[in-house]
Structure 1
């Protein structure tokens, strides 16, 4: 079910989103009506709405629409809140906007997911710090990796510096057991931010060669939490490193906020 401003979404509004492909979103894992990092998800929506549309977003209204959408649904859900303007004019995108709130959901996968193997693919997302709906480049990179026999893409930029995955933040564990995040223009992930708050870490430029030589690697996003990366290109990495187990336990222990 897709709900636009708390009511079933009509085909015209969804057609407008599909044809213009201009908007932004956040994706949350809802368990028993609670969300880890809800405050960060709402901050993202407000920040991106100012960037994409130049207006303030009513966050209490957003929460109300999300609560309505999940009411009566048991188990864990992945809820996506998309903000877009059905009346956006392709010829005049700078005109005053009236963004609307679309809420969709699906059953969440059981944790933990199996480790993934990533292939480095040269790609830098448009406006990388905004979680926007323009997913063509990321999905094309993912498709390229999968056609080569991998599960997903790990993006690289200038100087073969790694940045992020198709829909996830990349993290690494160095030889000293320290968590290292790539120093690059990436989407600030909610799961990443929660882990950074709860433990020691550092940020540094990481080349693809250095990434392949790390003690361990992992992916983070709201849908799957902390997921091991068992290989990058032709290099294998240990999926059961103790630091990864500690990261998973730390994340799972975080209390969710009521939606």
Structure 2
């Protein structure tokens, strides 16, 4: 695997232990760059700025992020790469401070090819509206699901409503409608992109509570993130049993057209 690391625009040969500790408090965004372009660039920039203001009391200007990102891509070996931008502070967190930026450029990640079987866990992420670096619990439950012979974890909250998966948002399909769970979740950039694209097609956004006991009422379920814009779910196992989903070409096509309706942005 090829990988480049850059701290505030300066290439790094490795990630020192001090940076590993510093980056434990921070936030990030992930981009799948293809031919130097990405969907939802403005939303990535807005999220980085908003999250920095909340975590560090100091925003991240779009100009600074783009200058750093473009420099990293100029030094990349390909126009097709994966990028992770971490915002953190080496100066501590006791006062407002402009965050440092750690940009990691690596090989592009191929979409998942096998529909996953999900095992449901009651779990609520802290400050879920932030894409923060506190991902221990996500990895823990994903690992527990795999140890139980499933592919990944699906979360539901204390009210028994579906929220999100370990590294994905989730949506459900019923006839010609796409339903998003009403719960405390990370508003993922791909989720927002899909919602905007579906709206351009005239598909109204529907965000309603999805009780865990109702997952069998839907014709299909899809996971969404920067790698997998619409990954069909094979099954969801809850304490009440397992719901198997058959391929649903109509909803899969609707989501694919919604995603394609939003053009790629040149970085």
Q: TM (normalized to structure 1)? A: 0.91
Task: Give me the whole-angstrom Cα distance separating, in 2, the residues matched to 1:217 and 1:17.
Answer: 39
Check whether the contact 1:81–1:102 (CA below 8 A) recurs between aligned residues.
Answer: yes
TM alignment of 1:19-38, pairs within 5 A: 19-20=21-22, 21-38=24-41
- After superposition, where does 1:222-233 map in structure 2 within 5 Å? 222-233=226-237
CA distance in 1, matches of 2:89, 2:13: 14
User: Which residue number in structure 2 is paired with residue 16 of structure 1?
Assistant: 18
Aligned equivalents of 2:66, 2:16: Cα separation in 1: 21
Once the two structures are superposed, residues 223-255 of structure 1 have per-residue CA deviations (whole angstroms, 9 ceiling, x without a partner) of 222111111012211234321122123313532
TM-fit CA distance, 1:87: 2.4
1:221 corresponding residue in structure 2? 225
Once the two structures are superposed, the pairs formed by residues 186-205 of structure 1 within 5 Å of their partners are: 186-199=185-198, 200=203, 201-205=205-209
Task: Tell me what 2:90 maps to.
Answer: 86
Compared CA separation, residues 26 and 143, structure 1 to 2 (3 A) = same
Q: Which residue of 2 aligns with 1:159?
A: 159
Deviates more, 1:148-157 or 1:101-110: 101-110
CA contact (8 A) 1:16 1:87 kept: no
TM-score normalised by structure 2 residue count: 0.89
Select 1:67's aligned residue among 59, 67, 70.
70
Q: Does residue 258 of structure 1 match 2:257?
A: no
Q: Which residue of the partner structure matches residue 50 of structure 1?
A: 53
Change (3 A) 1:127 1:17: farther
Pairs aligned (count): 253
RMSD: 1.8
Q: Deviations over 1:92-139 (max 9, x none)?
A: x32232310110022223346321111111111110000100100111
Alignment of 1:105-254 (within 5 A): 105-111=105-111, 113-174=113-174, 176-199=175-198, 200=203, 201-233=205-237, 234-254=242-262
Q: Aligned equivalents of 2:66 and 2:5: distance in 1?
A: 15
Cα pair distance change 1:86/1:196, threshold 3 Å: same
User: Hey, what's the Cα distance between the residues in 2 that align with 1:231 and 1:14?
Assistant: 41
Are the aligned partners of 1:216 and 1:241 in contact in 2 as well (CA < 8 Å)?
no
- Residue 100 of structure 2 is matched in structure 1 by 100
Distance, in Å, in 2 between the alignment partners of 1:171 and 1:208 is 13
Inter-partner Cα distance in structure 2 for 1:156 and 1:17: 34
